[in-house]
Amino acid sequence: MSAWRSRSGGHRLVGWSDLAIAALTAWVAPMVPGLALMALAPILPNEAALFASALGLALAFSPIASWVGLIIGVPLSVLCLAKGRFGWAVAPLVGLVSGAFAAQVVGVGDGIAGPLGAVAAVVFRAVLAGMKPVAFQPV
């Protein structure tokens, strides 16, 4: 798979249900490590426990605000896929922009929203590529 390119017109190979499954996966995925960090925090030393608790809480509750980033990021991803420009290196850029913009809309710090958006976009692209790999093979 190419870092920058995908199949031109690849959006036609990806259905609405594929987009919904990928978006839902990217939306709820941060909850798993968040809950794991919160469960792990009590056995860590003081400062590490505080950090793990705070990060875990942010990740576990990120779906409350991250849907705004998906509303921005999914159409942008489909546009990139249509143009043949949704390689694995483009996805985190789309997520970074979507997360930072969503942070401004929702009013949370873009210091965490941008990087979380980048990770969510990589998860989104990975799920889509797993379901429809031909859409991501440049021709």
For 11-40, the DSSP string reads GGGS-HHHHHHHHHHHHHTTHHHHHHHHHH
Show the tokens assigned to 55: 């990060």
Q: Strand (E) positions, 60-104? A: none
Give me the pLDDT at residue 94, please: 96
Q: Where do the structural domains in the chain lie, given as residue ranges? A: 10-28+65-136
What is the per-residue pLDDT across 88-113, written as a single tens digit (0 to 9) for each?
999 999 999 999 998 888 887 667 88
Give me the pLDDT at residue 139, please: 77
Q: 46 Cβ partners below 8 Å, 6+ apart?
A: none
Average pLDDT over residues 37-65: 92
What is the per-residue pLDDT across 7-47, written as a single tens digit (0 to 9) for each?
989 899 999 999 999 999 999 999 999 999 999 999 999 89
Residue 95 · residue 80 · CB < 8 Å: no
Residue 35 · residue 89 · CB < 8 Å: no
Q: Say what the pTM is.
A: 0.88
